[in-house]
């Protein structure tokens, strides 16, 4: 069972790297070995990793294009903020960890419901309709969030589309978004969410559900002829991805004191897609690494001021060229072949 | 495994109502496939017209005809890739009107494709496991949580896949990526994958295409072996006449979407209409 062992090794490396990174980083945070700006980025990095891994499930494993992943993140973020603020204001629910857990689960459920609603009509079609519809969905969510006002009054939640119509403690304030959020996200929570995501995604891929999803990607007609219900499995991939994106959103939202709806624009959706493509479509570990690197990179390039995004783009192009270059590829494969040979020799001498 | 059934040479074909023939042993059992006046039009062009065919429970039947006769279209009609514009298809006596490809597959019809359609990025074993898909009884959450049921079913499935691959001596290739297999092995893998769905009717679309004479002969034996072992009916499209004449019990000849002849191999070989369809009319002097 060579391929099974390779898969196991791949999974172990993925989990191992994430756990090791967490241990090192939390040690560094405790001993103040880490710069302030990087420390502030740890939780956003966690949520972008979850975003990238979940989008990879749709783009890489299911082979559909989703251009509205930020929309699910937005839903997750604002529903997370809402439920957290509601619990705090209406019930004086002070336990931050439990509140964060409830917010993340609730954010995931809300995003999942919207995923189902979008998936029912769209995933029956063949072709790139999912890309078109999710693109529109992301914009619709952004604009709806832009004019929604929610406040909590005693134990009541007041919703309105008009400012100044509602009383009580404001949770969502139209274009100003969520204001005065009690930030309760922690790095540990982000790490646990990444672990949860990895367990769900990797175990899903290596079960019969995942195989059916990949079969549909490779050849839809053949999969149908084998009796695989296509719409159902596309739906499973899409909704799972939406739920995880909603959870990432809740983590992200509860890390910010203020959060405006326009934050989750089309640009962010494309950004997550860049993480996925750069990390290698269908490659979970690649998504994690590229999400981390590409979140830190723009911050590290701040000293370049207005040339920052230019350099970011150039870096992206260079990485793409290098990873597709035959010379570089053969060099890497030679290197791994030599490593393998050494392993073989060690295996012989042992 | 039950008694091997005698090959074509000893099979007596008997008439069946509505101008069809089935092997004598299948008489009195429900035919696995029955089509009545089946036809499809593509914008006025009748690709298949008034197609009547009955296939017995354990029959190996052949569908032959010149290029463009509509053979693959018939397969697409039987597997519901196309919805027929005329007539009906009955699988095990059940009307397939309005069913999807997936639902037709659940009725027990499995096929291979003329232009191979494997899941190229998956391994050989995974391809077979997709065929076993509907025999798996664990849900998504069992898979994610890796409950004992998952391990039990995965192990059983692994064994089942290897057993099926052993029909063509392909167990050793289980971990190879399907897209990187040689052409002949890809064709064989498609047959194994179709068999994995536990069908009662197997449709083979040019199984011997691209195979050398030796491989074709082996395939011929394997087709008969599969029928004996699984007790299923097989309908195959093939241009290689040695294979068709060697293994098929009933043969149906199609030309311009219409059946021009039905019968046993000997009858077909000596049928003047068939010879005309293949070789053209002798010029009158």
Residues 47-86 of A with CB under 8 A from B: none
- Model confidence pLDDT, tens digit, residues B62-101: 999 988 899 999 999 999 999 999 999 999 989 999 999 9
If one looks up domain A2-349 in CATH, what number appears? 1.10.3470
Quick one: pLDDT band at residue A36, thresholds 50, 70, 90? confident
- Model confidence pLDDT, tens digit, residues A145-189: 999 999 888 888 888 888 877 888 888 888 888 887 888 999 999
Q: Are residues B103 and B47 in the same domain?
A: yes
Residue B89, phi then psi, degrees to nearest 5: -120, 125
Q: Are residues B46 and B154 in the same domain?
A: no
Quick one: pLDDT band at residue A128, thresholds 50, 70, 90? confident
Q: Are residues B205 and B83 in the same domain?
A: yes
Q: Are residues B185 and B205 in the same domain?
A: no
In tens digits, chain B (285 residues) has pLDDT values of: 445 555 554 567 777 666 677 787 877 788 899 999 999 999 888 999 999 999 989 999 999 998 889 999 999 999 999 999 999 999 998 999 999 999 999 999 999 999 999 999 999 999 999 999 888 878 888 888 899 999 999 999 999 999 999 998 898 999 899 999 988 899 999 999 999 999 999 999 999 988 889 989 999 999 999 999 999 999 999 998 889 998 999 899 999 999 999 988 888 888 888 888 887 776 665
DSSP H helices in chain B: 71-78, 101-106, 124-131, 140-145, 148-165, 183-196, 213-230, 241-247, 265-269, 272-279
CA distance B117 to B130: 13
- Residue B98 falls inside a structural domain: yes
Nearest chain B CA: its distance from A126 CA (Å): 14
pLDDT at position B1, please? 43
Question: Inter-chain contact B133–A228, Cβ cutoff 8 Å?
Answer: yes
Q: Are residues B53 and B152 in the same domain?
A: no
Q: Are residues B104 and B123 in the same domain?
A: no
Name the residue among A158, A154, A155, A121 with its Cα closest to residue A136: A121
Nearest chain B CA: its distance from A77 CA (Å): 25
- Mutate one of A195, A203, A207, A237 to test the B interface: name it (highest B CB count within 10 A): A207
Specify the pTM: 0.88
Residue in B79, B111, B150 nearest the CB of A207: B150
Question: Inter-chain contact B102–A212, Cβ cutoff 8 Å?
Answer: no
What is the DSSP code (8-state) at residue A174?
G
* Domain that residue B27 falls in: 1-108+199-285
Contact B143, A209 (CB under 8 A): yes
Residues of B in contact with A214 (CB under 8 A): 119, 121-122, 126
Q: Are residues B164 and B207 in the same domain?
A: no
Residues of B in contact with A227 (CB under 8 A): 102, 105-106, 133-134, 197
Residues of B in contact with A203 (CB under 8 A): 143-146
Q: What is the ipTM of this complex?
A: 0.86
CA distance B95 to B106: 13
What is the total count of domains within chain B? Answer: 2
- Reduced to 3 states (helix: H, G, I; strand: E, B; else coil), residue A244 is helix
CATH at B217: 3.40.50.300
Nearest chain B CA: its distance from A233 CA (Å): 10
pLDDT at position B3, please? 53
Q: Are residues B9 and B67 in the same domain?
A: yes
- Residue B125 falls inside a structural domain: yes
Interchain contact A227–B (C-beta under 8 A): yes
Nearest chain B CA: its distance from A348 CA (Å): 23
Q: Are residues B213 and B76 in the same domain?
A: yes
Helix B148-165 to helix B183-196 angle (10° resolution) is 130
CA distance A2 to A228: 27
Distances (CA, A) of A114 to A28, A91, A110, A275: 39, 28, 6, 24
Residue in A214, A224, A236 nearest the CB of B119: A214
The per-residue b/e assignment along A245-271, b for 16 or more CB within 10 angstroms, e otherwise, is bbbbbbbbbbbbeebbbebbbeebbeb
CB atoms within 10 A of CB A306: 6
Residue in B113, B118, B143 nearest the CB of A207: B143
- Model confidence pLDDT, tens digit, residues A189-237: 999 999 999 999 999 999 999 999 999 999 999 999 999 999 999 999 9
Q: Would you say how long chain B is, in residues?
A: 285
**Residue A88: partners with Cβ closer than 8 Å, 6 or more residues away:** A94, A99, A182
Q: Are residues B86 and B218 in the same domain?
A: yes
Bridge-based pairing of strands A149-153 and A169-173 is antiparallel
Question: Inter-chain contact B121–A1, Cβ cutoff 8 Å?
Answer: no
Q: Are residues B3 and B104 in the same domain?
A: yes
- Model confidence pLDDT, tens digit, residues B186-215: 999 999 999 999 999 999 999 998 888 998
- Residue B113 falls inside a structural domain: no
Residues of A in contact with B130 (CB under 8 A): 211-212, 215, 223, 226, 228
Residue of A nearest to B115 (CA): A222
Long-range (24+ apart) CB contacts under 8 A made by A115-123 are: A115/A72, A115/A238, A115/A239, A115/A241, A115/A242, A115/A243, A116/A235, A116/A239, A118/A238, A119/A234, A119/A235, A119/A238, A119/A239, A120/A235, A123/A64, A123/A231, A123/A234, A123/A235, A123/A238
pLDDT at position A92, please? 86
- Model confidence pLDDT, tens digit, residues A310-343: 888 888 888 888 877 778 878 877 887 777 666 5
Residue of A nearest to B139 (CA): A209
pLDDT at A350 over 50: no
Quick one: pLDDT band at residue A344, thresholds 50, 70, 90? low
- What percentage of chain A reaches a pLDDT higher than 70? 96
């Amino acid at each position: 069972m060579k391929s099974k062992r390779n898969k196991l090794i791949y999974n172990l490396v993925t989990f191992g790297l994430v756990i090791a990174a967490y241990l090192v980083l939390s040690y560094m945070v405790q001993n103040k070995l880490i710069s302030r700006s990087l420390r502030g980025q740890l939780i956003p990095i966690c949520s972008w990793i979850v975003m990238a891994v979940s989008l990879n499930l749709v783009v890489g494993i299911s082979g559909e294009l989703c251009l509205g992943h930020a929309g699910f993140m937005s839903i997750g973020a604002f529903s997370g903020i809402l439920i957290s603020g509601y619990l705090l204001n209406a019930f004086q629910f002070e336990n931050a960890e439990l509140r964060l857990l409830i917010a993340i689960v609730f954010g995931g459920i809300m995003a999942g419901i919207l995923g189902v609603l979008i998936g029912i009509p769209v995933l029956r079609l063949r072709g790139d309709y999912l890309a078109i519809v999710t693109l529109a969905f992301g914009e619709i969510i952004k604009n709806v969030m832009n004019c929604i006002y929610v406040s909590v009054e005693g134990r009541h939640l007041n919703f309105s589309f008009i400012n100044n119509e509602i009383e009580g403690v404001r949770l969502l304030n139209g274009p100003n978004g969520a204001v005065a959020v009690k930030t309760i996200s922690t790095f540990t929570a982000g790490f646990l969410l990444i672990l949860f995501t990895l367990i769900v995604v990797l175990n899903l891929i290596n079960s019969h559900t995942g195989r059916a999803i990949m079969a549909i990607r490779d050849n839809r007609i053949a999969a149908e002829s084998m009796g695989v219900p296509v719409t159902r499995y596309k739906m499973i991939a899409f909704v799972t991805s939406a739920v995880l994106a909603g959870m990432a959103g809740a983590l992200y939202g509860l890390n910010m004191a203020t959060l405006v709806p326009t934050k989750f624009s089309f640009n962010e959706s494309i950004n997550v897609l860049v993480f996925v493509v750069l990390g290698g479509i269908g490659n979970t570990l690649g998504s994690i690494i590229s999400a981390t690197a590409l979140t830190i990179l723009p911050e590290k390039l701040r000293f370049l001021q207005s040339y920052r995004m230019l350099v970011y783009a150039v870096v992206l192009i260079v990485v793409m060229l290098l990873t597709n270059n035959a010379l570089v590829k053969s060099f890497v494969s030679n290197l791994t072949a030599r490593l393998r040979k050494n392993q073989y020799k060690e295996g012989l001498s042992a | 495994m039950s008694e091997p059934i005698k090959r074509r040479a000893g099979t007596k074909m008997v008439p069946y109502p509505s101008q069809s023939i089935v092997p004598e042993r299948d008489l009195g059992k429900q035919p696995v496939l029955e089509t009545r006046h089946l036809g499809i039009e593509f914008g006025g062009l009748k690709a298949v017209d008034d197609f009547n065919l009955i296939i017995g429970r354990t029959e190996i039947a052949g569908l032959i005809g010149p290029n463009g006769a509509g053979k693959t279209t018939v397969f697409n009609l039987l597997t519901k890739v196309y919805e027929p514009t005329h007539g009906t298809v009955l699988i095990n006596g059940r009307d397939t009107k309005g069913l999807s490809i997936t639902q037709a597959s659940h009725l027990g019809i499995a096929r291979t494709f003329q232009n191979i359609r494997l899941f190229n990025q998956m391994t050989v074993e995974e391809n077979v496991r997709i065929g076993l898909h509907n025999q798996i009884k664990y849900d998504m959450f069992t898979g994610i949580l890796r409950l004992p049921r998952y391990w039990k079913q995965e192990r059983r499935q692994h064994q089942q896949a290897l057993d099926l691959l052993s029909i063509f001596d392909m167990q050793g290739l289980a971990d190879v990526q399907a897209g990187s297999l040689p052409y002949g092995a890809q064709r064989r893998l498609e047959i194994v994958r179709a068999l994995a769905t536990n069908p009662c009717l197997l449709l083979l679309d040019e199984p011997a295409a691209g195979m050398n004479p030796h491989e074709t002969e082996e395939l011929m034996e394997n087709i008969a072996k599969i029928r004996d072992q699984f007790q299923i009916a097989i309908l195959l499209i093939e241009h290689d006449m040695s294979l068709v004449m060697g293994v098929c019990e009933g043969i149906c000849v199609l030309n311009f979407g219409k059946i021009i002849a039905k019968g046993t191999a000997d009858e077909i070989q000596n049928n003047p209409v068939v010879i005309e369809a293949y070789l053209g009319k002798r010029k009158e002097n």
